[in-house]
Copies of this chain bind each other. A is one copy, B any other.
Amino acid sequence: MKKHNFSAGPCILPQEVLLKASEAVMDFNNEGLSLLEISHRSKPFVDVMEKARSLALELLGLEGKGYKALFLQGGASTQFLMVALNLLEKRAGYLNTGTWSDKAIKEAKIYDDVYEVASSKSAGFNYIPKGYDIPSDYDYFHCTSNNTIFGTQMKAFPKCDIPMVCDMSSDIFSRTLDFTKFDLIYAGAQKNMGPAGTTLVVIKEDILGKVSRKIPSIMDYKQHIDKGSMYNTPPVFAVYTTMLTLEWLKNLGGIKAIEKVNEMKARVMYSEIDLNPLFKGYSVKEDRSNMNATFTLINDNLKDTFETMLKEAGINGINGHRSVGGYRASMYNALPLDSVKALVEVMSELETKA
């Protein structure tokens, strides 16, 4: 039985992508060699890298607008550091919406002054702060578009006169936005893009070159741009599989098309959470994430019954993050509506039983 996979990341990928990736491990392009065995400087792989980079910009509507796309190693966690190394000269403003922003702040603080423009910490990060000011003399403003752990999502972005940097790890390519508002976007591949092991960085080139520190080569966006995202050996398999997923998304109709499906999935999920008296949602309604629905069982006695039923229905990966508890249904791009329906069915069946 193919499972319904609600994993928070690494997470479900389109079946056709898995099939092509699996085939390429045995024989890439019918050339008698595995994708894993060929030189990253060979034309077939350089083509893959270039296609992945241009698809990323195309899907975001950023082609020909001064942006460059990179596929780096090190995860989004390395971007916490690279952003500060490349952009932080005196002071930066960070919006704190939970664990990931928190880590980004901590990593940047080593280098210079970091100011929290707002935080929802005292409310357990169950909402997105609004109405804060972003001082126009700061180096940049940093925010996290979707908090994967608490299940909150920024539905609007602040007016920002300084470069805006956004960690979109858990909702990139899931909804239409005016991406030209952002000057640097980064996202680990392992949610909406591909397997763990590569991170997309999209940069407006003109924000670079403004800090006085000497940046280590491997941490320097400029070096990676100059080398066509091949400053050193790229994570070949992760980039290829990401390229396949971006192709899949383009063929589906791009972000606009997937956004409709994602909205539908979220509606079905949250209706059940709200209407079913056995469950309650974790985050405030207006800031709920369309990617990660966080909720709890009101009566803990039902836990074992519920989890047995989930298992029987082939529902996988809905345990909440250890720091929040409860449940988290992650509904990334590749998750079919049918999987959400299957989960919702178990939830309403539990209601009949209880």
Residues of A within 8 A of B (CB): 1-3, 5, 7-13, 18-19, 21-23, 25-26, 31-34, 36-40, 73-78, 80-81, 103, 106-107, 110, 188, 190, 194-198, 214, 216-219, 231-238, 241, 314, 316-317
- Known contacts A25-B25, A33-B316, A107-B217; A195 and B10 CB within 8 A of each other: no
So how many copies of this chain end up in the complex? 2
Tell me the smallest distance from the CB of A231 to a CB of chain B, in Å: 7
Question: In the assembled complex, how far is the CB of residue A85 from the closest CB belonging to chain B, in whole angstroms?
Answer: 9
User: What are the residues of chain B within 8 A of A25 when measuring CB–CB?
Assistant: 18, 21-22, 25
Q: Is the CB of B218 within 8 A of A80?
A: yes
Return the contact of A197 from the options B22, B32, B78, B238 (Cβ within 8 A): B238
Could you say which residues of chain B place their CB within 8 Å of the CB of A317?
Answer: 38-39
B18 touches A216 (CB 8 A): no
Query: A8's closest neighbor in chain B, by CB?
Result: B39
With known contacts A80-B218, A236-B197, A10–B37 Cβ distance under 8 A: yes
Q: Which residue of B lies closest to A7 (CB)?
A: B39
Given contacts A216-B81, A236-B195, contact A37 B12 (CB under 8 A): yes
Contact pick for A77, options B26, B80, B218, CB 8 Å: B218
In this complex, what residue of B is CB-closest to A45?
B10
A110 to B217, CA, bound (A): 10
Residue of A5, A39, A236 with highest tally of chain B CB at under 10 A: A39
Report if A190-B32 is in contact (Cβ < 8 Å); known contacts: A21-B25, A110-B216.
no
Q: How far is the CB of A19 from chain B (nearest CB, A)?
A: 7
Tell whether, in the assembled complex, residue B18 and residue A218 are in contact, meaning their CB atoms are under 8 Å apart: no
Q: How far is the CA of A233 from the CA of B236 in the complex (A)?
A: 17
Give A303 Cβ to nearest chain B Cβ, in Å. 20
A37 touching B11 by the CB < 8 A rule?
yes
* Shortest Cβ distance from A77 into B: residue: B232
Q: Are A5 and B33 in contact (CB under 8 A)?
A: yes
17 residue pairs bridging A and B, Cβ less than 8 Å apart: A3-B33, A10-B39, A10-B233, A18-B25, A18-B34, A18-B37, A36-B194, A39-B317, A73-B73, A77-B218, A77-B231, A78-B218, A107-B218, A110-B216, A196-B233, A197-B197, A197-B238
Residue on B nearest A195 in the bound complex, by CB: B36
Verify A75–B36 contact, CB threshold 8 A.
no
A339 to chain B minimum Cβ distance, whole angstroms, is: 12
Q: Which residues of B contact A23 (CB under 8 A)?
A: 22
